[in-house]
Amino acid sequence: MLKTVKFGGSSLADPAHFKMVRDIIFSDEARKIVVVSAPGKRFSGDNKVTDLLYLCYAHIKYSVDYANILHLIKERYSDIINGLGLDFDIDKKFDGIIDKIKNGAGEDFLVSRGEAVCAEIMAKYLGYDFVDSYENVFFNYDGSVNLEKTYEAIKKSYDATSGKIVVPGFYGTMPNGNLALMSRGGSDITGALVAAALGADMYENWTDVPGILMADPGIVDNPYPIPRITYNELRELTYMGAKVLHEASVFPVRQAKIPLNIRDTNNPEDPGTLINEEFEEKELNADKFYITGIAGKKGYCIIDIKQENVARKIGALRGVLKIFEKHGATIEHILSGVDSYSLIVPMDTIKDIYSMIAEVKDFCGAGSVNVTEGISLVACVSRKMASRPGISGRIFGALGENDINIRMISQGAEELNIIIGVDDKDYAKCIRVLYNSFTRKD
């Protein structure tokens, strides 16, 4: 059994968290591959080491005295080193780094030291081997990861170690040999790449939340975490605005059929959220609620179009769709009737709505088009819908009882989600009503 465990910045912010991380790792023999971020915030209002490093580079670049900011960065590390009683010369380490910057190493190099130094300290603390991402994660010129080269390098490097390693997240190498950063939060991607390369049985992503939540905590008070979710459900929720993992950090493990477990470092006994391709039927029944999660987005419009006998006329839609295409408008849903249909479009994809509508009127006749702006879409996502009748009934009932007018409703062919369109003013209420209705104990 082999597990890749990635720890985010808040799990590495101080010596106490380093100790918690070590306890977590040592409590399971399978946790042999560790990927780390740079130390994050210790309290609200604190700075992430990554941000301090960006700031430090700007000071150096514009010839502003950088001694204070460098001191702050070194202090973050010496606090950890001293708190753990480690023998690690942080001054010497940063002298070497600053030398390299003065000799032309760029911003990405300096910022990457946030994770690199953190990984070296963690390796020393655990007694694991340090494996540098610079020699193991390779990008193409367009910034995408060269998977083949990366997987091969990681496998080779791992084979040359004791079998227990710490890898810094967030950076790799460009084809010209320059070090380059990933996008912010990129250590999640490194963790997924390492897990996929080594064929781990599980990718654990340890963070400071109890898992993926059933709804936006800014809208619903203390939403339950989702115990189990499929990769498909996760995609639906992410697409509909849920802020969870970056797509690029899911792809490598999904492709390699590795389950991903989001865990809370501060509550290691919590099972967190398990993401997998599918779950056993009996596990479905073990889930507490019919709905896996609820997410939504504002900023849509509904464009109703009248076209006589559109249901029967071959190619009738095509002319209108071409106009939408020309204007860059993305059509997310089409609801059709006999003589009319409605297109649901995110407003921000339409470059010039007036000229687009004028063209549609030219094509279909004046008076044929009606636009309603200020529409929100709310998705109830669940793999359990396909096997259980009554879910849409419950949705309609709950919204009706709460005086929320449904502007449109659409259920995907795979019955993985039900999407409801409501007025923007009802958006938050709609999410709360649905959440309460599906989590109510009755």
Provide the minimum distance between the beta carbon of 304 and ligand ASP in the complex, in angstroms, as a whole number. 44
The interface with ligand ASP within residues 20-39 (CB under 6 A) comprises 37-38
Q: CA 117, CA 109: separation in Å to the nearest integer?
A: 12
The 340-346 sheet, strands edge to edge: 333-336, 340-346, 293-306, 369-381, 417-423, 408-411
Q: Does 203 engage in binding with ligand ASP (CB under 6 A)? A: no
Collapsed DSSP state (helix, strand, coil) of residue 230: strand
Identity of the residue, 134 or 224, whose beta carbon is nearer to ligand ASP in the bound complex: 134
Nearest to residue 395, comparing CAs of 374, 379, 375, 412? 379
186 binds ligand ASP (CB under 6 A): yes
CB 438 within 8 A of CB 405: no
Contact (Cβ atoms closer than 8 angstroms) between residue 127 and residue 154: no
Does 168 participate in binding ligand ASP (rule CB under 6 A)? no
For ligand ASP, the closer of residues 168 and 259 by Cβ is 168
Residue with tokens 């996502």: 381
State the Cα–Cα distance between residues 229 and 275, nearest whole angstrom.
5
For 120, the token pair is 């070296």
The string over 173-195, giving b where at least 16 C-beta atoms fall within 10 Å of a residue's C-beta and e elsewhere, is: beeeeebbbbeebbbbbbbbbbb
41 binds ligand ASP (CB under 6 A): no
Q: How many residues bind ligand ASP (CB under 6 A)?
A: 12
CB 408, min distance to ligand ASP, A: 38
- One character per residue 114-153, x = contact with ligand ASP (rule: CB under 6 A): x---------------------------------------
292 touches ligand ASP by CB under 6 A:
no
CA angle 326, 328, 332 (to 5 degrees): 120
Minimum distance from residue 184 beta carbon to ligand ASP (Å): 4
**In the complex with ligand ASP, which residue's Cβ is closer, 189 or 430?**
189
The smaller minimum CB distance to ligand ASP, of residues 37 and 261, is found at 37
Cα–Cα distance, 20 to 309 (Å, whole number):
67
Using the rule CB under 6 A, give the single segment among 180-188, 203-211, 291-299, 379-387 that binds ligand ASP: 180-188
Q: Which is nearer to ligand ASP, 186 or 227 (CB)?
A: 186
Q: State which of residues 18, 77, 151, 170 lies at the interface with ligand ASP (CB under 6 A).
A: 170
Cross-strand bridge partners of residue 173: 138, 179
The least CB distance from residue 56 to ligand ASP, in Å, is: 14
Part of the chain binding ligand ASP (CB under 6 A), chosen from 17-25, 63-71, 183-191, 214-222: 183-191
**Binders in 3-22 for ligand ASP, by CB under 6 A:** 9
For residues 152 and 16, give the distance between their C-alpha atoms in angstroms, rounded to a whole number: 36
53 contacts 110 by C-beta, under 8 angstroms: yes
Taking CB under 6 A as the rule, does residue 169 contact ligand ASP?
yes
Neighbours of 133 (CB within 10 A): 29
Among 112, 173, 187, 307, interactor with ligand ASP by CB under 6 A: 187
Q: Any contact of residue 184 with ligand ASP (CB under 6 A)? A: yes
Q: Which of residues 42-81 bind ligand ASP (CB under 6 A)?
A: 48, 50
CA distance linking residue 286 with residue 125, whole number of Å = 40
Residues binding ligand ASP (CB under 6 A) = 9, 37-38, 48, 50, 114, 169-170, 184-187
